[in-house]
Structure 1
């Protein structure tokens, strides 16, 4: 792939369009006039080969995504250090989720209006500084404050995904987005598995310090290779947030992507966040595993990283609609497998692989769609990610209550309900969706 001028998916000018029908790749990116996707500006040369650029951005995405989940596997060690109990410090992990949600709302939309090179550098240094302060915290309150700031600033992946989608050739856009999503899921797995192992060996403070160093190094390196930009518009924290309602109202395809991601991510969250209760529990609903052994189930998350390139290629070839349908079908199969997994470990392992494959396929298809159906991709991406996050948070809360009252069967019922709602409420596309469905790339999901 050429390094100096990445291919652009900008539609031809009017005279050219009249003389030559648009290619399938051009149709996949959607029309540029009116309310359609934003025409790409003239690309700036990259200081590194394009392939190396994508690899570096994917690694940066993995490291920064891991920061959101860094505290969760370390809670027992943190509690011991502070002379407390794990349940007394468990709220620190929730603080990270709230911080990330705030960052998504305020920082991620700025990708449409400010220089992303500077923004990525600043947010990376803020995250690294907050993690370093967290490593030096003497109590739960100070650590929670540091985690809140770090999580709010670690939204770099949601700034880089729209950039990569914008600069990718139209016929390879989903594959490029898939590379970043693979990095994101790898980071989540690393935070849950490697974070716990390193913390057990060296202490939780060294995990925070290591994360701070990696975030600073990779964040600055990624900022250095981003193309120079002259961004337009206001850099106000509230500018992008104010645009969200109008952007969502103006795109039926974006609304559909948001709802379907909320349904899928909600089902995954209900099952995955309750899984530790099943694995470590005893009696009718539990396997009696140790926390360390149960944590190794996080390795099944690697299925998402491995299937991401395949899912991206399928979106580029067959369109988002088919991939989302396949993802939902696979997730529907995984729910009864999870239910069987309440008493059969083989079924639980198979279900864990299936749900991660379904999640990543759905995510790549819907996020690619969200990035290509409006003139403000960063704002649209924020709406999409927040919708998924909200669906997951609500489903997780219901799943916890369901497990208390009805055991593992109740959790599986919540997951099935979320999948049914996500699909049924979007199963009948509008007339615009029917016109643009089928082979025309990512549109029409």
Structure 2
């Protein structure tokens, strides 16, 4: 069994760390970053639970505004591609502050919008600028002690999943009580407060920018091509996130449909609380990665996910199985995410660019699987959705089961590989 210091190699950033100490003690800084991650991640999913309220306010049917939630996904993807790689070359403090202010302005505009076009534009800009978590994760990994690196990354990931749950559950409840515009205003205030506080607390960043501003975006293909570990992490997380997305995005159709459980939208939304499993499992997953290495943890996560698929299928008619499956699949997702993202952050000399490739790959896998799952549900019902999830897991594992030759930026420590 590898030791804690052997499980994950130190990131080879090739960048001299600034001599100045952080403004806050390390533990307090990590806590602040996790809170900032939770708030900013929630902005991506803010509109989804509020769509019925938005439709009523604008005098239209919910189906006529459902596309606004998709706009947020496209906005986030755009932000990932253009802003996340800047973490390797641009002063993080200024970048985090600027993006937080842009997000705040966009959310405020959305809160006072008078129609779907203005609201959609505001949601797109807010989601594109809310990539702050992906700027902070590489910093956390670089500054963490070697034997606790994955646990520090897991703390940020726990914040991310907590934010997603809060957006789906608390956002819906607050919107129902006070209106959807109040939710947007509250999100704007929290984003400004925590974003600016985090920017102020980040350690001094004296890296001079060299080369074109978006050089990291152009370097994405070569970074993935020359790092087998990064390539494997991207595909495995695309398979895992795709399986989760297929099941989770189609779950409302099963819970509220006449051929399913026939629950109300509010009751079905409480299933989002199972996402808290991810927040609870993340610290444990980080400890396992630090102790046993990323490869073993990812294999265990895939086994968990494989168990969840038949549970979900059984859950089509048995509620206890559906609840158990929801817990298992979230545990599998976050365990895989902690392991794969830690590996992605430590396997190249450009961690922010590598992290961008990793997150975009996972997002693409999830988006495609969700689209296929919707069609599968229409054609074959809940069993078709479970089949899509199973196929995605199979593809994610089998396409990476053959080891590629080492690239020039491959990790030097074999324990993090398969």
Q: TM-score, normalised by structure 1?
A: 0.90
Candidates 202, 213, 217, aligned match of 1:241: 217
Higher relative CO (Cα under 8 Å, sequence separation at least 6) belongs to 2
Instruction: Tell me if the contact between 1:321 and 1:437 (Cα under 8 Å) persists in the aligned partners.
Output: no
The residue that corresponds to 2:390 in the other structure is 416
Cα drift, residue 236 of structure 1 = 4.9
Q: TM-score, normalised by structure 2?
A: 0.96
Cα drift, residue 430 of structure 1 = 3.8
The residue that corresponds to 2:9 in the other structure is 30
Q: How many residues are treated as equivalent by the alignment?
A: 414
Matches of 2:311 and 2:241 in 1, distance apart?
A: 17
Matches of 1:318 and 1:388 in 2, distance apart?
A: 23
> Whose Rg is larger?
1
Instruction: Tell me if the contact between 1:30 and 1:37 (Cα under 8 Å) persists in the aligned partners.
Output: no
Candidates 411, 414, 417, aligned match of 1:437: 414
The residue that corresponds to 2:247 in the other structure is 271
Candidates 238, 246, 267, aligned match of 1:262: 238
Structural mapping, 1:194-213, within 5 Å:
194-213=170-189
Structural mapping, 1:53-68, within 5 Å:
53-68=29-44
The residue that corresponds to 2:283 in the other structure is 309
Q: Does 1:155 align with 2:131?
A: yes
Matches of 2:293 and 2:90 in 1, distance apart?
A: 31
Structural mapping, 1:235-384, within 5 Å:
236-283=212-259, 286-384=260-358
Deviations 1:323-356 (A, max 9, x none): 0000000000000000000000000000000000
Deviations 1:213-237 (A, max 9, x none): 0000000000010011112334855
Q: Does 1:120 align with 2:99?
A: no
Segments of 5+ residues of structure 1 without an aligned counterpart are 1-22
Deviations 1:236-291 (A, max 9, x none): 553221111111111000000000000000000000000000000012xx100000
Cα drift, residue 437 of structure 1 = 3.2
Instruction: Tell me if the contact between 1:174 and 1:364 (Cα under 8 Å) persists in the aligned partners.
Output: yes
SS at match of 1:260: helix
Deviations 1:109-129 (A, max 9, x none): 000001000000000000001
Matches of 1:69 and 1:116 in 2, distance apart?
A: 24
Segments of 5+ residues of structure 2 without an aligned counterpart are none
Aligned in 2, Cα 1:120/1:31: closer, same or farther, shift over 3 Å? closer
CA-based RMSD of the aligned residues comes to: 1.7
Candidates 380, 385, 390, aligned match of 2:364: 390
Matches of 1:43 and 1:171 in 2, distance apart?
A: 22
Instruction: Tell me if the contact between 2:311 and 2:322 (Cα under 8 Å) persists in the aligned partners.
Output: yes
The residue that corresponds to 2:54 in the other structure is 78
Instruction: Tell me if the contact between 1:107 and 1:237 (Cα under 8 Å) persists in the aligned partners.
Output: no
SS at match of 2:381: helix
Instruction: Tell me if the contact between 1:100 and 1:153 (Cα under 8 Å) persists in the aligned partners.
Output: yes
Aligned in 2, Cα 1:40/1:414: closer, same or farther, shift over 3 Å? farther
SS at match of 1:44: coil
Aligned in 2, Cα 1:357/1:43: closer, same or farther, shift over 3 Å? farther
Matches of 1:158 and 1:398 in 2, distance apart?
A: 27
Q: Does 1:133 align with 2:109?
A: yes
Aligned in 2, Cα 1:31/1:364: closer, same or farther, shift over 3 Å? closer
The residue that corresponds to 1:6 in the other structure is none
Matches of 1:104 and 1:396 in 2, distance apart?
A: 19
Matches of 1:26 and 1:349 in 2, distance apart?
A: 37
Structural mapping, 1:149-188, within 5 Å:
149-188=125-164
The residue that corresponds to 1:407 in the other structure is 381
Matches of 2:3 and 2:310 in 1, distance apart?
A: 39
Structural mapping, 1:5-24, within 5 Å:
none
Cα drift, residue 24 of structure 1 = 5.1
Deviations 1:110-154 (A, max 9, x none): 000010000000000000010000000000000000000000000
Deviations 1:167-208 (A, max 9, x none): 001111000000000000000000000000000000000000
